[in-house]
Structures are given as C-alpha cells and as structure tokens.
Structure 1
Amino acid sequence: MFSATSESDTITRIRLDDREIVLVGTAHVSRDSVDQVREIIQTELPDTVCVEIDHSRYQTLSQKNRWQSLDIAQVLKQGRGFLLLVNLVLSSFQRRLGADLGVSPGEEMLAAVNAAKERGIPFVLCDREIQTTLRRAWSQTGFWGKNKLLAALLSAGFSREKFSEDEIEKLKEKSELHGMMEELADFLPQAKHVLIDERDQFLATKVFQAPGSRIVAVVGAGHVPGMLRWLEDLKTGQAADSLDEINSVPPRTRISKILPYVIPVLVITLIGLGFYRSGFAGGMSGLYRWIVVNGTLSGVGAIAALAHPLTILLSVLAAPITSMNPTIGVGMVAGLIEAVFRKPRVEDFERLTEDALSLRGFYRNRITRVLLVFLFTSIGSSIGTFIAIPLLFPAAVG
C-alpha cells in the first residue's frame, strides 16, 4: 500500500505498508527550515534520519577549515579546475542568499544530522556526490548547452540581486518551485534532467532503502514532487532500486574521444599544405597566423584574469603548442604558472569561501585568481583556434 498525505506546505507523510516516511521540504537558506527540522526530529523520534547531502558537502559543512588542505596545483593537474570553479560559484550563490538572513547554506541539513546525533538516531547521507552530478551534467550537455550552463552559473554566482526572507520562504511552496523547474527544463533540459530528475530518483531510492519503520527525510522542497512519484514506483515495483546507472559518469563516446585529435591533425595538415602549395613563404604565413591568433587571445584571457605579467607572456607562448596537444590545455599550464608566481597565502585559504561571494573577491583571492586564469586562458585559446583555422585555408589551397 502507498499513500501520501500533505500535512502542510512543507511536510508530507507517506505510508508504505507498515513503514512511514515523513518527508520535510526545506528552503536551503531558511531559518524557519532549520528550526522546523530540529522540532520534527525531536517530535517524531524516527528510526533513521535521511538528509539531502553528500559526503563531500557534509565534510565541507562540518569541517570549517577543510579548504585549508586544498592543493590548487593538484586540482589543475587532475583536470578538476572547472568542477572546483563551479562548486565555488554555486556555494557563493547560496551563501549570499543566506547572508542577510543569518543562515548558512545547508544549515538545516547539518541541523538534522546534529539532532540525530544528539538522540543517538542513525542518519543517512542520501544525495549523490556533487562531483558525479556535475560531471554527468557536463557530459550530457551539448556545446551550446555548455556555454549556456557556464553563463548561467557565472551570472547567478556574481549577481547582486537580493532576496527577502518572505521570498526565501516562498521557495518552499510547490507552485513557485514548479514554475522554476519548468523554466530550467526549457532553458537546459539535459542539465535539468541530471540536476533535478536524476537526484529525485537518487534521493527517493536512498530513503526507500533506509532501515527502520519510521523515517524522517529532510530534502529541498523542489525535490518533493519528484520523490513522491519515485517512491510510489519503487513500492509498486515499477522502478528498480538500483542506482548504478545514474551514479557513474557515462563513458566518452567514440566521437568525443576522436574530436580532440581532429583539430591538431587539421591544423598540421593545413600548415603542411601551405608549405606544399604556396612555398616556404605561404607555409610560414599560415604558421605565423596560427601562433599569433591563438597565442594573442589566450594572452587576452590572462589579462582579463589580471594574471601575473610572466603568466600572460607564457600563456601567449604556450597556447599555440597546447592547442595541438589533446592531453594538456593552456588553462592548466597558465593556472600552474600563476600558482607559482603568486603562491596562495594562508589568508587566501582562510578567506576562500568569503571571497567567493563576489567577483571582486574572486580577483583578490589568489586561489580563485588561479581558477580565473585557468578559465579565461582556456576560453581565449578556444576562440583563437576557431578564428585561426579559417585563416590557414588561403595558403593551403594555393
């Protein structure tokens, strides 16, 4: 038997035969949500408390000095520069929402865990790892979608828009959230599927698998409608309780594996044809155009990030070479160089989360400055590549 009864805008009580799940929908920067979560756990005294948080985010919330162990050079070498940047932007957006209300993002989740610990109640971290979610969203989004996603994240992260406490509380109303989800689906359907739909399934399955006859599940209000559908399907057997498929990054397609090698082969071919058809002068002209256009725009990116002068110079020199190497990007090289010339200080680690709240802070902090250098030089080199390739054709065709 499956039944769901809404006791209020934020609490839904679900019956699964002899089990009961109390689903609590919260706003992630709401003081009322923090208080309500503590009260419900104290009143219900469940067998298990489930919270919409992953292990990495739990460590970040519970270990305030965790950023101080960050090795920015290692992050870039492992190809996780973009993921770290997105993490910081998303965190800064939520921190800014809660700043005027005196609430830290995710405080209600931490309150739920602490309330469970105080009463000796087991708790389960039910969300999918953020790195997996971001990698899946990125891999399933097309070229233009990636640009739209990046633009949306940056605009949200550095927006100066203010929200009142009443507006934050309205985010817990299903009608408001439905409109937001529809807007996201229209704007980026692939990203919406990964960020919302798949996590609805993940959260519902984790709650369904949680031990005990009475469960309190604390989740963002936007996930409640989707979770109800998945819980009913899990109960009736219409959905399997395996999460293997959505808990891994899809393997790269054959085209995505080949594509990084296409541009180097094309550039070398066009420059080689320039030497063959137009002589030494024609070949050197094509080579000169490739170096100047690609290197210059990468250098412009470094300047936009206010990089160290030597980082700018070396970005210009490295970009034409790294663009021909599918395994090393100019962003990685430029970011590592910037980290050497402007080594992050102790205060940069201590102020990282605060500086990430604003664009000015991003430029002031040496850690986030490295990430800006990584991002802007990569964008500059990519634009330079697409501009330079057509300029190689005149000499190549004779």
Structure 2
Amino acid sequence: MKDIHVSDTVTRIKLRNKEVVLIGTAHVSSESADEVERVIREEKPDHVCIEIDEGRFAAMKKKQSWESMNIGQVMKQGKAFLLLVNLVLTSFQRRMGMDLGIAPGEEMKRAVSVCEEEDISFSFADREIQTTLRRAWAKSGFWGKNKLVAALLSSAFTNEKLSEEEIERLKEKSALEDMMQELAGYLPSVKEVLIDERDRFLATKIFQAPGERNVAVIGAGHGPGIIRILHELDEENGNTDLSDISSVPPRGRISRVLPWLVPAVILVIVGLGFVSSGWQNALSMLWMWVLVNGTLSALGAIIALAHPLTIILSFVAAPITSLNPTIGVGIVAGLIEGVLRKPRVKDFETLHDDILSIRGFYRNRFTHALLVFFLSSVGSAVGTFIGIPYLTSLIGG
C-alpha cells in the first residue's frame, strides 16, 4: 500500500507489520508544536518516537545543570572543545528561536508532555549530538577541521537579523537542521555524518520501536530520507545494525602518528642545525622556536582577554607542550585561567543567556576559560605551522 500524505507535514507510512504517522516539524514553529499535540491525541498511537537524544532533551528541559560542572575536570578530561561546540550550537538555536518567537524544541517537549498525559510510551530516537560531532570531526582533514570551527563560530556569533524570507524558510525545518545543512554544503566530506547517517539512525529507531501504530516526530528536513529508509528496512533483508555509525571511528594511522611526528621533526631540524653549525646555531634555533610558538600562543590568550599570569604562562608552556603529544597549551592555559578567575555561582546562573553574544562569552568566567583554552591552542598551532619552515631555513645559518 502506498504512503498517504495527509498534509504537507504529515505522512502515513504503511509497512508490512507497522503503520507510522510521520510528523515533519519545524523546531522553531508554534504551529508545529500544536500539530504534534493534535496528531498524537487523535491517533492515540502505541508508541511515539521523538527526534532528539536523551542528553539534549534533558539539557533543553532543565536548561542544563551547569552548576555541577567543574571547569578543571572539563579541561583534564579533554572535553573542553566538545563543550565549547555544544554551547555554540545551543547559542545558535536559542537566537533563532528568539527571532521566531518560540523556544527551539518546543514541539519535542510538547510531544513528551502529551505522551505522559495520555500514558503513551515514547522514546528519544536521535543519535547523541556528541557522537555526531565527533564523527564529523574525525572525518574532516586538517583544513576541513579549520573550516568546521570557523563555520560553527560564525554561525554562533553573527549579529545579523533574519529577514522575513529566512524566517519563513526556517519554519520549514529545524534551526539545528538548517545549520547542519549549511555545514554539509560547506564541507561535503561530512555530509554523510551530518545528514545521511542521522536519517538512517532515526529511520532504524522508528522501525524498531514497539507497537503496530506509531507516531514519529521529526524535523521536516529528515522526512524524505527517513521514508525511503523505512521502506528499505521493511524488505526481508533490511539491515537494522547501527553499530557502524553509533561510535566514533578509531583514529587513523596518520592521526595517531602526527602528534609524535611534529616534535620529532622539530628535534631533527635542531639536530641538523647543531651538526652543520654547532651548539650556537642549535640554541639559536631553539630560542626562535620558543619565541614564535610562545608569542603566538600568548597572543591567543591576549585576544581571549586572559589574566596576565595566564598570558605569561601560555608563552612559557606553548613551546614545551608543542613538543609533548600528551598535553596541549590550551589545557594548561584554560586550567590556569579557571583557577585565577574561578567561575562564580552567578556565572552558572547566567550561562544560558551569556552564550547568546560574544560579549557574554567573554564576561562569563566559565565560557571565558573555554575561550582562553581555544584561542591559546589556535595560537600555538599557528606558531607550529610557521615555526617549522622557519627553523628549516636556519639550518647551516
């Protein structure tokens, strides 16, 4: 039996042993939230699948228990960059919602509320955003990673207001989905992770959900892909194994070797300088390495408006950490900044609003430490990029 398009946003999908009513929502539309409630109440399904992961829903519902976060632990566990990206995504969604007059994800909260009220079982069907971001990062090359960071930051901190045409376009899909689509167009190498894999993940979770008459609440942009994959899964040999896209792929050989290769190259260059011209030239090369790498890392800390002591220690630590694959200068600088300007209770209380602007990111001590981590790391990376060829030119000098 063919699928029935009940409306522009609702499709009734007939499978062999299941019927799925797919609601394609716009995550920033009050009409979508009302439609989700109406369809669930009318259909009275056995089960409802909701396109969000449990962690994001908890953060959205509770505005995140930031008070329990320790900036030192975040740095030590290597989660600073991932947390910064999550805050950037949250900032993007919240600003889109403010322009459109509705909190992002309102239809997801409405779906859960109706299910609880009507005693209908439900599940969160999306892949964890951390896994998606980590997979996108792992599949990006060196320049791709830089483009990904630049795209995320520009999306988060732009002050441009939406035009009427853009507002109408956003009402056709989610704010996050719009950002994912833009990133996929900007970085074709990660389109598979940001779009295709999530279509497959969502479709499989919907297909595996209990019940014979189900409702699925998804972003409108996922509709065509999910419908196609649902029918593929309904075939006798449909593959429901998601293990290949449910975890972060192991680092490739180059990625594992590169952190050790950089210090090895630097030491070899300095060694060649010693062999060709003696100790004086070798020491001169080491000093230039310290000067270039330390200065640019300190410059990153200055741009982040770090504490003066953090700036000094960034200069000292960068040349050393760049030769140590196990720790980066950003972790050192971020930890020092977190100690010197320890986040206060009010920083956690205002974090939800502070992430809406660049000024807020700088003003809030929690996000400020993350900026110090990020910009000092960028400075050191640029210093390494410039320093290696410069040192090479000094051999025999």
What TM-score comes out, normalization by structure 1 length?
0.95
- 1:240 matched to 2:236: no
Secondary structure in structure 1 of the residue aligned to 2:3: strand
- Distance in 2 between residues matched to 1:328 and 1:181, nearest whole Å: 31
Residue 13 of structure 1, CA deviation: 1.0
Matching residue's letter, 1:45: K
C-alpha contact 1:303 1:312 (8 A) present in aligned 2: yes
Shift of 1:52: 0.6
1:25–1:222 contact (8 Å) kept in structure 2: yes
Q: Aligned residue for 2:381?
A: 382
What's the counterpart of residue 7 of structure 1? 6
Give the Å deviation of 1:333.
0.6
- Structure 2 CA distance for partners of 1:180 and 1:284, relative to 1, 3 Å: closer
Deviations 1:45-89 (A, max 9, x none): 111011011111111022235122112211111111111111111
Structure 1 SS opposite 2:339:
helix
Secondary structure class of the residue paired with 1:105: coil
Q: What CA distance in whole angstroms lies between the structure 2 residues aligned with 1:266 and 1:183?
A: 37
Q: How does 1:1-398 map to 2 (within 5 A)?
A: 3-163=2-162, 167-171=166-170, 173=172, 184-237=183-236, 239-397=238-396
Question: Any conservation in 1 of the 2:29–2:171 contact (CA below 8 Å)?
Answer: no
One-letter amino acid matched to 2:208: Q
Structure 2 CA distance, aligned partners of 1:377 and 1:178?
31
Tell me how far 1:270 sits from its aligned partner. 1.2
Deviation, 1:17, is 2.4
Contact kept, 8 Å, 2:33 with 2:110, in 1: the verdict is yes
CA offset at residue 238 of structure 1?
A: 5.5
Provide, for residues 374-395 of structure 1, a one-character-per-residue CA deviation record: whole Å limited to 9, x for no partner: 1100100000011111121244
Q: Could you say if the C-alpha distance between residues 234 and 128 of structure 1 is closer, same or farther in structure 2, counting changes exceeding 3 Å?
A: same
Alpha carbons 2:16, 2:234 under 8 Å: kept: no
Q: Is the 8 A contact 1:23 1:218 kept in 2?
A: yes
Q: Which runs of no fewer than 5 residues in structure 1 stay unpaired?
A: none
Alpha-carbon deviation of 1:171? 3.4
SS across alignment from 2:88: helix
> Structure 2: which amino acid aligns with 1:364?
R
- Structure 1 residue runs of 4+, over 6 Å off? 177-182
CA–CA distance in structure 1, aligned partners of residues 59 and 185 of structure 2: 32
CA contact (8 A) 2:100 2:167 kept: no
TM-score with structure 2 setting the length:
0.95
8 Å contact kept, 2:50–2:216? yes
Q: Which whole-Å CA distance do the structure 1 matches of 2:119 and 2:337 have between them?
A: 48
With over 3 angstroms needed to count, the CA separation of the structure-2 counterparts of 1:390 and 1:167, relative to structure 1, is closer
> Could you say what secondary structure the match of 1:245 adopts?
helix
Residue 182 and residue 42 in structure 1: after superposition, are their counterparts in 2 closer, same or farther (change >3 A)? Answer: closer
Asked if the contact 2:177–2:219 (Cα under 8 Å) also holds between the matched residues in 1, the reply is no
Aligned 8 A contact 1:54 1:129 in 2? yes
* SS of equivalent to 1:100: helix
Partners of 1:298 and 1:235 in 2: CA distance = 55
Tell me the SS of whatever aligns to 1:211.
coil
Sort the Cα spacing of 1:31 and 1:71 in 2 relative to 1 into closer, same or farther, 3 A: same
Letter of the 1:85 partner, please give it: L
CA RMSD of aligned residues (A): 2.0
- Alpha-carbon distance in 2 for matches of 1:256, 1:239: 34
Amino acid at match of 1:145: G
* Length, aligned pairs only: 395
CA distance in 2 between counterparts of 1:47 and 1:284 reads: 74
Per-residue CA distance 1:187-206 (angstroms, 9 max, x = gap): 21122211111000000000
1:271 positional shift:
1.3
- Report the AA paired with residue 337 of structure 2: E
Task: Please say if residues 30 and 168 of structure 1, whose CA atoms lie closer than 8 Å, have aligned partners that are also in contact.
Answer: no
Contact 1:19–1:214, Cα closer than 8 Å, also in 2 = yes
Asked if 1 retains the 8 angstrom alpha-carbon contact of 2:36 and 2:107, the reply is yes
Structure 1 letter corresponding to 2:346: E
Compared CA separation, residues 84 and 298, structure 1 to 2 (3 A): same
Whole-angstrom distance in 1 between the partners of 2:179 and 2:323: 42
Does the 8 A contact of 1:30 with 1:169 survive in 2? Answer: no
Q: Sequence identity, in percent?
A: 61
Unaligned ranges ≥5, structure 2: none
Aligned partner letter, 1:138: W
> Matched residue of 2:288: which SS?
helix
Deviations 1:315-374 (A, max 9, x none): 000000000011100011100000000000011111112111111111111111111111
In the aligned structure 2, how far is the partner of 1:347 from the partner of 1:161?
A: 28
CA contact (8 A) 2:58 2:64 kept: no
2: distance between equivalents of 1:255 and 1:87? 27
Give distance in 1, aligned partners of 2:322 and 2:178. 42
- In the superposition, relative to structure 1, how do residues 60 and 212 fare at CA in structure 2: closer, same or farther (>3 Å)? same
CA contact (8 A) 1:97 1:162 kept: no
User: Secondary structure in 1 aligned to 2:20?
Assistant: strand
Contact 1:10 1:26 in 2 (8 A): yes
